[in-house]
């Protein structure tokens, strides 16, 4: 019976570690990982207090945790919502077969030609290509527009006389759904320290979703892309074509559920160790201490 109990404990810890790993990866993308490390340190102190028999410290921690859990829900409201959205997406997509669909060549060509022209004319641009996740709760303002992606339409939107030229254009599949949209701003000052609001918004939406942003700086006339929480400069227009094509192929061929499981068995050692340590601490805190 002891061996079975030990095996059950190991499986219990591993299951929690997998769950924590998904949360850690998500929080790392949203730059909230240091809060999690702080929480883990408090949990470690509590475990040590229990082991060492520090009764007053243990009582204080137990009283504190009740209020602390409520505070966590408030602090991580956005992250928790996205996590549950991803769980639903992983669950609904787990048994789907990968699609071999490819992005329309005209679609990519139109984006690249518009970007190249606006770079040359030093006209600001921000286009967001949606991924698998919904962007609805991240978008503010803007104008509804269900129009097929085309060069004339995009150029008219980013014309200085257009009412929404300073905002973002949202593209879903081959359709421009909204323009003049305001996006959440990034707080990753290390990446955006040499850029303005447009780049901050582009990186902000790439941090809270799986969307890809394409930006043209009106000051420098240079293009950049933001995806998976990273802002990357584009050296030439052929690189932009490759980045867009790679994103659209990934969107159509690789579902989010596969990405999670592939990451789970990749070389992301540090996050895996962190997730395992948090799972072990949780087991010591809620299981071992009660035995």
Q: For 195-226, write each residue's pLDDT tens digit.
A: 999 999 999 999 888 899 999 999 889 999 99
218-226 long-range contacts, CB within 8 A, separation 24+: 218/122, 218/123, 218/124, 219/122, 220/122, 221/119, 221/120, 221/121, 221/122, 222/119, 223/115, 223/119, 224/199, 226/199, 226/202
112, 160: one domain: yes
Residue 100 lies in a domain: no
Residue 149 lies in a domain: yes
216, 116: one domain: yes
84, 9: one domain: yes
% of the chain at pLDDT higher than 70: 74
Cross-strand pairs, 147: 176
CATH classification at residue 116: 3.40.1700.10
The whole-number pLDDT of residue 98 equals: 41
CB 58 within 8 A of CB 49: yes
Query: pTM of this prediction?
Result: 0.63
DSSP letter, residue 143: E
178, 286: one domain: no
Residue with token string 């990357």: 232
Domain that holds residue 162: 105-253
pLDDT tens across 75-128, in order?
A: 666 666 666 665 655 555 444 434 434 455 678 999 999 999 999 999 999 999
CA distances 208 to 2, 151, 176, 258, Å, are 45, 28, 21, 19
CB 60 within 8 A of CB 72: no
Residue 99 lies in a domain: no
Q: How far apart are CA 230 and CA 31, in angstroms?
A: 12
Helix (H) or strand (E) holding 225: strand 223-227
Cross-strand pairs, 213: 128, 226
121, 52: one domain: no
Of the two residues 182 and 68, the one the predictor is more confident about is: 182
Number of CB atoms found within 10 A of residue 24's CB: 22
The whole-number pLDDT of residue 97 equals: 39
Q: How far apart are CA 40 and CA 129, in angstroms?
A: 36
pLDDT tens across 146-155, in order?
A: 899 999 999 9
187, 284: one domain: no
9, 141: one domain: no
| Total domains, the chain | 2
26, 157: one domain: no
DSSP letter, residue 140: B
């Amino acid at each position: 019976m002891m061996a079975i109990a030990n095996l059950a404990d190991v499986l219990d810890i591993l299951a929690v570690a997998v769950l924590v790993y998904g949360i850690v990866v998500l929080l790392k993308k949203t730059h909230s990982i240091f809060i999690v490390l702080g929480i883990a340190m408090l949990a470690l102190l509590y475990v040590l207090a229990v082991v060492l028999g520090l009764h007053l410290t243990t009582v204080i921690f137990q009283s504190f945790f009740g209020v602390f859990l409520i505070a966590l829900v408030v602090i991580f409201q956005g992250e928790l919502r996205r996590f549950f959205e991803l769980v639903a997406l992983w669950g609904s997509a787990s048994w789907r077969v990968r699609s071999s669909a490819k992005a329309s060549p005209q679609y990519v060509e139109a984006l690249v030609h518009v970007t190249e022209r606006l770079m040359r004319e030093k006209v600001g641009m921000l286009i967001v290509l949606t991924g698998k996740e919904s962007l609805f709760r991240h978008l503010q303002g803007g104008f509804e527009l269900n129009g097929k992606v085309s060069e004339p339409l995009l150029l008219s939107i980013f014309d200085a006389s257009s009412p929404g030229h300073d905002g973002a254009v949202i593209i879903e599949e081959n359709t421009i759904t909204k323009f003049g949209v305001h996006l959440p701003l990034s707080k990753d000052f290390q990446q955006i320290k040499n850029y303005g609001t447009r780049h901050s918004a582009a990186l902000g939406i790439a941090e809270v979703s799986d969307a890809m942003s394409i930006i043209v700086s009106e000051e420098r006339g240079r293009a950049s892309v933001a995806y998976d929480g990273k802002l990357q400069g584009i050296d030439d227009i052929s690189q932009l074509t490759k980045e867009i094509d790679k994103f659209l192929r990934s969107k159509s061929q690789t579902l989010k559920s596969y990405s999670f499981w592939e990451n789970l068995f990749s070389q992301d050692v540090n996050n895996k160790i962190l997730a395992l340590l948090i799972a072990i601490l949780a087991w010591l805190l809620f299981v071992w201490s009660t035995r």
